Amino acid sequence: MGKRATREAFGETLVELANEGMNVCAVDADLAGSTTTNKLQKAYPDRFVDVGIAEQDMIGVAAGLSLTGRIPFTASFAVFGVGRCYDQIRNTICDSNLNVKVCPTHAGITVGEDGATHEMLEDIGMMRALPNMRILVPADYRAAKAAIRIAATTPGPVYVRMGRHKVPEVYDESFVGGLPYAGVLREGTDVTILACGVEVAQSLAAADILAQSGISAEVIDVFSVKPLAEDVILSSAEKTGRVVTVEEHMVETGMGSAVASLLAEKRPTPMRLVGMRSFGTSAPGDVLLEHFGLDGAGIARQVEEFVRA
């Protein structure tokens, strides 16, 4: 299939769900072309609302629609769709446990040339802290389709994190995921690499590089960041005795932090968190992955340092 961005699955899947009879709708904040919700707008104009550049209103409208029995999906760039309306997500959606799906695109440093102001690196942490919120971070186009379907059929708030960057194919059309779900994509014995989103394909590439140095890396896709698939993670940690988490997000509050909390409580394990520790900058997505050590070679280098320390 080649490389496709996870955001490309958004509008397509909403149309499929509407065709199947689900009462889905989209509330967008003047970015329907970029988020791809314009596909639903074209197919079902009465299921689409554009509130303009008013992200807080977007959340309020979606909350109201959910109370009428609809299944609303909000759509904007992550830095706006979370950062500008956290208060509304917290107090209007999560406190009342409303059936609203917060599904921004353009998350992480792979937004690229738009620069640090648009590279949302704190959203997983913000959503992790909220009671009632579930979090899915798909690794590729097909995983994103699965995530949207899961969100639509799961009662209550769900956060789906999607990106602008075209990523390699990881799954085939049979992938369905779950809440919780973590999939072992490569068996290994020396170290566990837990990755999410765009970093899943990069971690598989890192495992190939590590194998050339005699290091056997197990690679797991943490598709569901909240709740975590605890049994899968704990079993792998027990097997390899070392854990590295890799994410396109601030390490202080992201998936790695969630895994660290799990291991500290249930199975203390030597661990390293690989991810962002600063704001991003402006450059093509692939260049930024390399610059911040989040491409295959950079991940392999950090994992090898950890294993051989």
- Residues classed as catalytic: 55
How do residues 266-276 score in pLDDT, each as one tens digit?
A: 999 999 999 99
Residue 196 is given by DSSP the state -
User: Is 183-308 the same fold as 4-167?
Assistant: yes
Q: Do residues 301 and 293 lie in contact, with contact meaning Cβ atoms separated by under 8 Å?
A: yes
β-pair partners for 101: 73, 158
How do residues 81-124 score in pLDDT, each as one tens digit?
A: 999 999 999 999 999 999 999 999 999 999 999 999 999 999 99
Phi, psi of 75 (to 5 degrees): -140, 125
Whether the model pTM is above 0.85: yes
Q: Kindly report the CATH number that applies to the domain delimited by 4-167.
A: 3.40.50.970
> Among residues 71, 67, 79, which one has the least CA distance to residue 26?
71
**Reduced to 3 states, what is the DSSP secondary structure of residue 191?**
strand
Classify residue 216 by burial, with Cβ atoms within 10 Å: 0-12, 13-18, 19+: middle
The domain made up of 183-308 has a fold known as Rossmann fold (3.40.50)
**Boundaries of every domain in the chain:** 4-167, 183-308
Cα dihedral 121, 94, 41, 32 in deg (nearest 10):
-20
How do residues 173-232 score in pLDDT, each as one tens digit?
A: 999 999 999 999 999 999 999 999 999 999 999 999 999 999 999 999 999 999 999 999
Amino acid present at 50? D
